[in-house]
A and B are shown apart, each in its own frame.
Chain A
C-alpha cells in the first residue's frame, strides 16, 4: 500500500471515529459546555461596559480571545476527557478491541486513527464555536482579529486538544475497567486544571521563592518554568507570546515552543507504543 493511500485510509478511519463521537450523547454535554463557556465568554468579555478586573485592560480582539482561552481550557479539555476517557478501555471490556486488533492493519495506523478521531471530534466543534465567538467579539467591539491573530489562537488550541487526546487515550489504554478509566481521565484533567497552581506554590516555597507576592518577577519566572511541564501552562504561554510586549512571558519563546513540540511528541509516542503491545 502506497504512503498516500495509507494516509488516506488512516484519515478516513479517523473521520469515522469522529463521526461516532459526534453522535454520542456525551457530545450533547460537550456542545453545551462549549456554548456556555466559549460563546458566553466571547460575548461577555468583549462587552466594553464590563471589565474583568480593574487593573487589566483588554482592548484588542486578540486579547479577548486570549481571555476566552481560559474557557477553552475548561470546556474543550473537559470535552476530550468526556469523549476519550474510555476510548480504549470500553472497547476492551466489550470485546470490540479483539475484533479490531485481529484485522490486517498496522497497529500504528489503527492507534493513529483513534487519536486523530478523538482530536477531530473535539477540535471541530471548538473551532466552530471559536469562529462564532469571534463574530460575537466583532459585534461588541466592531473589530475582528487579524487572520494571523486568529490562527495564533486556534493552532495552540488544536495543540492542547491533541495533547489531552494523547493523555486520555494513554490513560484509557492502561485502565482495565471503567472506574479506573474515569479516575485516571478526570484525575489527570484536575491535576493540570486545578491542582497545578497549588503544586507550583508548594514547589516555589520549597525552592525558596517568595510566594507572598505573586506579581514578583522571581515568582513569575518560576511559575512559567513549572508551567512548561503542564499542557495548560504551555498553552497559556504560547498565547501570551502574541500579547503586548510587557504582557509576554519572561522565559524565552524557544523554551515554550520546544516544550510544545515535546508535548506533541512524547504523550503521542507513549500512546502509540502502548497500543502496539495492547492485549484485548
Chain B
C-alpha cells in the first residue's frame, strides 16, 4: 500500500468532517440562476485501514453523492476530506485520486472496444503502468478479455467496472451498489474478493439500499437519510444508537405462551400468523437485545410448560425500522419519501437548512 512519506500514521485512512455538497440546479431557460438542491449535509465519517463500511440509505438519500464527493468528482462546499490524515487540497486533487478507486453504479459499457482495451486506456490515463490481463483475471473475466463490450451481460459489465476501480491498487475503494446485476454465485465470490482486499489493508465503502445484503460482509455501517448521516458504527452500535434492538421470533407446537403474558421484566410479546407445521408464532421484543442466557431461559420456560419449539430466531432490525427509529416516521412511510430538491435536513438533529 502506498503511504506518501508515512504521513498520518495512526490516523484514519479516510476522514470526512462536516462535508456538505449540494447539487446546483438550474432551469433551462434561466441557466444563470442556480439554486441548491439535494445532496449531503454536514457528514462526518471515518474509515480505517482494512475496514469494510456499508453505506446504506433509501433511494435519494445521498449515497452516490457522498461517494462521488470522496472520489473527487464533486468538490465539497463545506468541510474537510482527509486522506492519510492529510487534507485533500494539500495532498493535491489528482494525487488524492490516485489512492481512490471508484466503482459507479451500473455502468452500461457499450461499443466495439474490449475489456482489455478499456483497461489499457485507463492505465494510460493513470500513467502509472499496470497489467490489464491480471486485473481481468482477478474479477473472473479471463475468458472475456477480448469480447466486445456490446456483447457483454450486465454481470460482466459489473465485473469490468470493478476491475476499473481496482486499477492502481487503491487504498480506498468506493463501490456504488456493486452487487446489482450479479448472480448469487458471483455475489459470494465478490464478497470473498472484498474481504481479501480488506485483509490487505484496503478501506472499502460499499453503498446499498439492502441492509440484509450488507450484513453478510461489512464490518461497520453508516446510515444516510436525506443527505445526513443518521448513525455510524458497528451494526450493534448502530442498533444501540438508534434504540433499535434485534427481536426474537419463536414458533412451536403444544403449549402456547399466552400473548398477554411476558416471560420476564421488559419483554413484550406479540402474536404473529403461523406458518405451516406450527401451532403458534410470536415475536419477542426487549430493550437492549438478547443474551444467550435469556434465550435459553425462554426455551426452558416453554419446554417446562409442555410446549415444543420448532423455531427460535434472532432477527436484526431492517433498514426501514432503523430509519423509522432515526426519523420518528412510521415504517410504512419512511421508505416511500424520496429526498426532494430542497433536502430538508432532519429536524431531529436540529440542523437548519442553510439556503
Given contacts A9-B127, A13-B124, A103-B122, contact A94 B97 (CB under 8 A): no
Contact B94 A106 (CB under 8 A): yes
Contact B108 A95 (CB under 8 A): yes
Which of A1, A24, A105 has the most chain B CB within a 10 Å cutoff? A105
Chain A contributes a number of interface residues (CB within 8 A of B) equal to 25
Residue numbers of A with Cβ under 8 A of B are 1, 9, 12-13, 16, 20, 23-24, 90, 93-96, 98-106, 110, 279-280
Contact B68 A95 (CB under 8 A): no
Partner of A105, one of B74, B108, B126: B126
Interface residue? B113 (CB, 8 A): yes
Please, how many angstroms separate the alpha-carbon atoms of A95 and B154 in the complex?
Answer: 13
Which of B95, B101, B124 has the most chain A CB within a 10 Å cutoff? B124
- Identify 12 new A-B residue pairs, CB closer than 8 A, beyond the known A95-B161, A106-B94: A9-B127, A20-B113, A24-B111, A94-B109, A95-B104, A96-B107, A98-B71, A99-B164, A100-B125, A104-B126, A110-B125, A279-B23
Partner of A103, one of B108, B109, B125: B125
Residues of chain B contacted by A100 (CB below 8 angstroms): 122, 125
Residues of chain A contacted by B120 (CB below 8 angstroms): 16
Interface residue? B267 (CB, 8 A): no
Within 8 A of A (CB), among B63-115: 68, 71-74, 94-95, 97-98, 100-102, 104-113
Interface residue? B35 (CB, 8 A): no
Residues of chain B contacted by A23 (CB below 8 angstroms): 112-113
Given contacts A99-B164, A104-B94, contact A280 B107 (CB under 8 A): no
Residues of chain B contacted by A110 (CB below 8 angstroms): 125
Partner of A94, one of B73, B110, B128: B110
Residue numbers of B with Cβ under 8 A of A are 23, 68, 71-74, 94-95, 97-98, 100-102, 104-113, 117, 120-122, 124-128, 161, 164-165, 168
A-B contact pairs, 13 of them (CB 8 A): A16-B124, A24-B112, A95-B107, A95-B108, A102-B72, A102-B100, A103-B122, A104-B94, A104-B95, A104-B128, A105-B125, A105-B126, A280-B104
Please, how many angstroms separate the alpha-carbon atoms of A85 and B107 in the complex?
Answer: 20
Closest residue of chain B to A20 (Cβ to Cβ) is B113
Residues of chain A contacted by B127 (CB below 8 angstroms): 1, 9, 104-105
Closest residue of chain B to A280 (Cβ to Cβ) is B73
Which of B100, B105, B106, B111 has the most chain A CB within a 10 Å cutoff? B111
Residues of chain B contacted by A24 (CB below 8 angstroms): 111-112
Please, how many angstroms separate the alpha-carbon atoms of A99 and B73 in the complex?
Answer: 10
Residues of chain A contacted by B94 (CB below 8 angstroms): 104-106
Closest 5 CB pairs of A and B: A95-B107, A102-B102, A98-B104, A104-B98, A104-B97
Partner of A279, one of B74, B95, B100, B161: B74
Given contacts A20-B113, A95-B106, contact A102 B125 (CB under 8 A): no
Please, how many angstroms separate the alpha-carbon atoms of A20 and B121 in the complex?
Answer: 11
Q: What is the minimal beta-carbon distance from A56 to any residue of chain B, in angstroms?
A: 44
Q: What is the minimal beta-carbon distance from B327 to any residue of chain A, in angstroms?
A: 28
Q: What is the minimal beta-carbon distance from A5 to any residue of chain B, in angstroms?
A: 8
